[in-house]
Structure 1
């Protein structure tokens, strides 16, 4: 059972701001200057420590020091700052309560020390955290007397509305968001049925306001007879009016002058009765002692009593009124109204209490007091009496006794101080007078009521309790504090059974649609909540997460950081692309649409796959907006444009979002740019990779768990580029674990979208692609995934039409001539099918044309060689290091990074490494020369630096090219130990074989070196890499390939090596 009845429903409430007329003067005590305030607080601190009794506690002293420190830089101290400094980890509601107690203690000390100052803040309806704190002069006795006289005159004036305290007529802005339980459907149905025409004449805003009327509960505690060793227990609550924005009964009437006041009164009475029933019955079922006998009082004045709506109320809700509801009749009930009240009492078994007993006409009181169960003394009269406590305590009791009716309990209203309650408990003569009860704004019910009630003071009201657990109240406060002033009016709040719904404007969290939070009552297990009550909620706010609940869950502790992170995500998406490392060397305008090929299994033809080719960008956009297939793998060989297409896709989504498209925020992560500590880890956690993404984008405070929650909700799409860059140095099990980490971003039943860009050769074949990307089985994985959850597409090479389109964009009238050149030179057109190689070719046409003129074969290695030679020529006269030594450094750097399975090196390590290398290659270099050489290497064309000072090759293919040069040179110089490296990637192997065919003597020596390695006893790494080079060599240049007489491969690690169709003789694998 929940404190929020399942029948609750609602329509959105609206904020209403209004100003009441001033009907009485108010004396405003002068505020202290900053210097005066500091002096008063310092005096309080010093003299407080010298007091023999009631010395400052350590906690109060620390709080006082913090207040003094803040006051040094503020004329008025923002309460929010004070709460943040003093109680940073305390929930806001508890911190506010602690602050109020501290403020009261400090003001008591000011009085004890006769300093005539006090701490004060505004008494409006804003949340405490939005107020400022100051020090002001305390009024002198003569000023107090004058104020009391003015108050007495004001009380004697006829009030415009009963039960509206005088302070509520002063200018006041009501703008409080209250998480109170409302009964909108019940109120609407009643009004439609009993006041059909009148209700229809109202506009939507008026009807909405009336349906959101609710109740504030003022506790009534038992003072006499006292219960030993216990705080005075709550025995009743008075149900007072509460408007949607925190206004009282009088403010409701002023806000709705077009509405029949009797209808308003009955709607409030219905809400009060429903509130009473919900609280009493739920507390009783949950074993709260005394809940069964709990009394609720509802105001009943003559306009309501005489209205036909009241009779309809009694007829429609008899069950609610039979359970301990007492109607308070006031002093205006006289003559015929007394008889009418008596008739209802007899006919409907109503229970009465006499309200404001001091104001009753003697005759009217005599007529009705016989039928009343209790009497109540009003706030004003009690305050007049209790002020004489210090001087005439016995007279206080005698004056109060005048309003006691024999045999009927007396309730005194306006009891605010615990001191007054102790006095009455100890001095009320129970042997002569009836039981005594106290009611007041400041009375707090026992903590056992906390699952159902929240202190209204936490929302800027004077006091009382609202039917909403502190858990619900805190969730509402967090959301309200998060929203901007412009966004708060768009917040919509309503109830669904035990669920309190908070609908935030989508703009606050970076989405187009409303963001819906479902706050589940802490009295209910989330699993037991009806699915309909959680329907269409984006996130569920729970007291404790439950892994069995397949919904996105947040705790109160997570809610603030998640909301802040959600707001930042559009910025993260834009900056993740703008600040992505290694920016492409060709501009967005040069991009040519590429096709992707997808293999689809034909159901009619069994396991046979059909191929479909579509435009790559269009495919990715369709995949992103499709509800199916949360994962997509974009595969392609090196230089095919995977990174560029990934970035074009990210940019296109951002552009469409800026134009209003309902698309998730794309977050682009280049896995080559993982931080050094993550690069050092074999398998980084998904959360750590997301943290790197956000930090690189300039949002270090965005939480990884919030980003992943947004992914699961479908508000964010993750784009992992360069998976193979990280996985290349991992074992098969580690690479699988890394893919598992990425797949965690979009678990089963989520709305997540994840794109993975990877080189094709990372996978052995098509089944291996599906197995690795899909996480295991080819039919259904342990995670419950099926093949349809994964789209795998291959980026297609440029055809001649796209090559021409690219050339036309760059070279215009020269495009045709260049295209003819590519067609004339053997293999050059084939190389141009890779966008990155086409880019390099067009940048070095002169060198390649010279090679072609000499009749030389041009391969991929020749293109990169031309790039390197152009760099050397361009910087002629600038080189601090001889060019041959600089190239050797590049080769050695590529070898070291590959051997250490890293992609980057920090500038400090690079400098130390360079110094060591120069001692070997240039021993006569001076320290000054070394500094220039260091800068020379770090500004090389092939090297780039990130903001953290990590250096790496500008494109992976450059590192592969220089590593291949190193291997080719080493093998041609008979140094087979150069092959003592991790297994060589296919690109390095191809580059090496290509490089060895430039000069015959290099080719022959290298061939002999490889042959010797394979024929001699097995050497770890060296033998495997020699076999890789032999296999590639015999495939592309069989006429010059090594011809080993035998293969010594005992213990060789050949897992994953594709040797289909290879014939080998005299092989020893033992």
Structure 2
């Protein structure tokens, strides 16, 4: 009973009469003060008539002697609409669900609205979701160690993990564009059906002010979701006892201005929720952290006491998944999907980029006629034009992502492009395949002239470049480009200024074997700037098993 929190309470059942319904009369004693109020019980969802009947036939009899008294009407069924709750209170009746009467928060309306919003989400439509490949990581060992081989359905794995008894943490890592947000959206959408006794609370950290504790984050989230009345102690209770599973999406967006040294600091904030049987699912970009060791160190203490734990890393799309995604994108039209897949195969290195879920979405939305011009290499659009469009769209997305309402200034799209271009040139000129956080900071500090205007130093800029551009982390303190063709495109773009100046040589093109994409881009620049001359570059010799290189001349098309 709600009155049980009183030290002395007596409950008397009042039988129904011809003039009124049955109810409970609760008498409470606190010191010298004795209060008495009726508690009505209604089986089912209430309506206006139910409230009016209880107010007229029960409440007013008590209110005649005590005008300040508030009666309680407890109901089953679905949560009452806020308008009815307010109307009842104006008559002196507190209308509450059975869940609320227990001192808990009735979140059924919240869950229904969240599920409907996810069902209609235009950015992550459920019809496009595909089972995601993943591997389980053992955070007590090196990156190469796994708790099992590659598996094929991350969503089912997380649902099964949520259904286990006891609390714990599930950490979902992955490079940008691998579908972490899509995964956690589907988890939130499906849990009410699969586990109806659990409330999935999807907290998208990018949309919240950057506060200092879990309580503040959850309060801000619920307020934004329209939950008008809730008690923080009740919220903590429901989390601690596993009635709410917290789905925190985008840990890397919880603190947008960090350095790689401090990238894991906010984990302690979120892990405050891991008490009792609390369950927490957390997603983050792998490249938000400098190394897996940094994650291991930050989680070690909590993982030892958190009960069930799951750490998985999502994989890229396979060829079969790319095909299936295109079929779903084109509403089941397999012929059209096959044509688009053939175009992707025919355009230099586009298949490599298509393995990222978000990039494949960009590519699937491109105009087919434009792609056919590129495929035929006879139109006014080249592969380089396509790459420029895709990478610009990607960098624009990263810039927008780093600038939610009220956020501090961050790097612009132009800043990000300049930094990654400098990194691409650095890698092209060296024999290294990756750069570390030191190189990220040095490059950001040397090429970006806007850091002071943004209030950034080179360490903060390094983190934004490493975690919010076109780079992925391939090991501990080892960053490289999401695909080799991206680096080659950026290197080719760096050749544009000397081509515009009609320099007799372009040294960058003479450093390493140039891909067909680079040749296409250089030819495009020559054509645009009408430079009727030869540019020499190093090209792989066809059918040469020794992999030797030769000089080749590239002349612009007429």
Q: Residues of 2 paired with 1:728 and 1:578: CA distance?
A: 29
Residue 970 of structure 1 contacts residue 978 of structure 1 at CA under 8 Å; is this kept in 2? no
1:670 has 2:204 as partner: yes
Out of 686, 689, 697, which is 2:217 matched to? 689
Q: What's the CA shift string for 1:12-38, capped at 9, x where partnerless?
A: x99673669xxxxxxxxxxxxxxxxxx
Pairing 1:402-421 to 2, within 5 Å after superposition: none
Residue 746 of structure 1 contacts residue 754 of structure 1 at CA under 8 Å; is this kept in 2? yes
- TM-score, scaled relative to structure 1: 0.32
SS of the residue corresponding to residue 127 of structure 2 reads helix
Residue of structure 2 equivalent to 1:964? 416
How far off is 1:852 after superposition?
4.2
How far off is 1:667 after superposition?
0.3
How far off is 1:133 after superposition?
0.6
Pairing 1:900-979 to 2, within 5 Å after superposition: 903-905=403-405, 963-965=415-417, 976-978=448-450
Q: Residues of 1 paired with 2:512 and 2:168: CA distance?
A: 42
Residue of structure 2 equivalent to 1:997? 492
Out of 261, 267, 281, which is 1:739 matched to? 267
Q: 1:699 to 1:486 in 2, by over 3 A?
A: closer
Out of 759, 773, 776, which is 2:285 matched to? 759
Out of 632, 636, 639, which is 2:174 matched to? 636
Q: 1:731 to 1:866 in 2, by over 3 A?
A: closer
Gaps of 5+ in 2: 1-10, 19-24, 37-56, 79-95, 426-445, 472-480, 501-507, 519-558
Q: Residues of 2 paired with 1:94 and 1:709: CA distance?
A: 26
How far off is 1:622 after superposition?
0.5
Residue of structure 2 equivalent to 1:819? 341
Q: What's the CA shift string for 1:546-567, capped at 9, x where partnerless?
A: xxxxxxxxxxxxxx7xx45x34
SS of the residue corresponding to residue 785 of structure 1 reads helix
Q: Residues of 1 paired with 2:206 and 2:151: CA distance?
A: 29
SS of the residue corresponding to residue 754 of structure 1 reads strand
Q: Residues of 1 paired with 2:514 and 2:282: CA distance?
A: 31
Q: Residues of 2 paired with 1:1034 and 1:578: CA distance?
A: 53
- TM-score, scaled relative to structure 2: 0.58
Residue of structure 1 equivalent to 2:98? 508
Residue 599 of structure 1 contacts residue 611 of structure 1 at CA under 8 Å; is this kept in 2? no
Pairing 1:11-22 to 2, within 5 Å after superposition: 17=15
SS of the residue corresponding to residue 493 of structure 2 reads coil
SS of the residue corresponding to residue 568 of structure 1 reads coil
SS of the residue corresponding to residue 627 of structure 1 reads coil
Out of 105, 114, 131, which is 2:62 matched to? 131
Out of 759, 765, 768, which is 2:294 matched to? 768
SS of the residue corresponding to residue 106 of structure 2 reads helix
Q: Residues of 2 paired with 1:703 and 1:1000: CA distance?
A: 61
Q: Residues of 2 paired with 1:578 and 1:626: CA distance?
A: 26
SS of the residue corresponding to residue 730 of structure 1 reads coil
Residue of structure 2 equivalent to 1:163? none
SS of the residue corresponding to residue 614 of structure 1 reads coil
Q: 1:864 to 1:708 in 2, by over 3 A?
A: farther
How far off is 1:863 after superposition?
4.5
Residue 246 of structure 2 contacts residue 279 of structure 2 at CA under 8 Å; is this kept in 1? yes
Residue 169 of structure 2 contacts residue 309 of structure 2 at CA under 8 Å; is this kept in 1? yes
How far off is 1:584 after superposition?
4.6
Q: Residues of 2 paired with 1:629 and 1:823: CA distance?
A: 46
Q: Note the aligned Cα RMSD (angstroms).
A: 5.1
Residue of structure 2 equivalent to 1:988? 469
Residue of structure 2 equivalent to 1:698? 226
How far off is 1:1004 after superposition?
8.5
Q: Residues of 1 paired with 2:513 and 2:32: CA distance?
A: 78
Residue of structure 2 equivalent to 1:626? 164
Q: 1:732 to 1:14 in 2, by over 3 A?
A: farther
Residue of structure 2 equivalent to 1:717? 245
Q: Residues of 1 paired with 2:304 and 2:255: CA distance?
A: 22
Q: Residues of 2 paired with 1:692 and 1:858: CA distance?
A: 45
How far off is 1:862 after superposition?
2.9
Residue 175 of structure 2 contacts residue 285 of structure 2 at CA under 8 Å; is this kept in 1? yes
Residue 905 of structure 1 contacts residue 951 of structure 1 at CA under 8 Å; is this kept in 2? no
Out of 311, 323, 327, which is 1:808 matched to? 327
Q: 1:617 to 1:14 in 2, by over 3 A?
A: farther
Kindly tell me the number of residue pairs found equivalent between the two proteins: 400
1:613 has 2:151 as partner: yes
Q: Residues of 1 paired with 2:216 and 2:327: CA distance?
A: 44
How far off is 1:568 after superposition?
2.3
1:588 has 2:126 as partner: yes
Q: 1:905 to 1:996 in 2, by over 3 A?
A: farther
Residue of structure 2 equivalent to 1:162? none
How far off is 1:753 after superposition?
0.9
Pairing 1:28-427 to 2, within 5 Å after superposition: 93=29, 97=33, 131-133=62-64
Q: 1:485 to 1:687 in 2, by over 3 A?
A: closer
Q: What's the CA shift string for 1:919-968, capped at 9, x where partnerless?
A: xxxxxxxxxxxxxxxxxxxxxxxxxxxxxxx999xxx9xx8755434657
Pairing 1:559-578 to 2, within 5 Å after superposition: 563=102, 566-576=104-114
SS of the residue corresponding to residue 700 of structure 1 reads coil
Residue of structure 2 equivalent to 1:854? 377
Residue 970 of structure 1 contacts residue 976 of structure 1 at CA under 8 Å; is this kept in 2? no
More contact order relative to length (CA 8 Å, sep ≥ 6):
2
Q: 1:17 to 1:727 in 2, by over 3 A?
A: same
SS of the residue corresponding to residue 177 of structure 2 reads coil
Pairing 1:458-477 to 2, within 5 Å after superposition: none
Q: 1:836 to 1:702 in 2, by over 3 A?
A: same
Residue of structure 1 equivalent to 2:355? 833
Q: Residues of 1 paired with 2:514 and 2:168: CA distance?
A: 40
Q: What's the CA shift string for 1:442-476, capped at 9, x where partnerless?
A: xxxxxxxxxxxxxxxxxx9xxxxxxxxxxxxxxxx
Q: 1:962 to 1:712 in 2, by over 3 A?
A: farther
Residue of structure 2 equivalent to 1:363? none
SS of the residue corresponding to residue 666 of structure 1 reads strand
Q: Residues of 2 paired with 1:573 and 1:814: CA distance?
A: 37
How far off is 1:685 after superposition?
1.2
How far off is 1:134 after superposition?
6.6
How far off is 1:696 after superposition?
1.5
How far off is 1:785 after superposition?
2.0
Residue of structure 2 equivalent to 1:484? 75
Q: What's the CA shift string for 1:501-560, capped at 9, x where partnerless?
A: xxxxx98329xxxxxxxxxxxxxxxxxxxxxxxxxxxxxxxxxxxxxxxxxxxxxxxxx7
Q: 1:704 to 1:129 in 2, by over 3 A?
A: farther
Out of 184, 191, 197, which is 1:653 matched to? 191
Q: Residues of 2 paired with 1:807 and 1:787: CA distance?
A: 40
How far off is 1:756 after superposition?
0.3
Residue of structure 2 equivalent to 1:797? 316
Q: Residues of 1 paired with 2:164 and 2:105: CA distance?
A: 25
Residue 579 of structure 1 contacts residue 696 of structure 1 at CA under 8 Å; is this kept in 2? no
How far off is 1:650 after superposition?
0.5
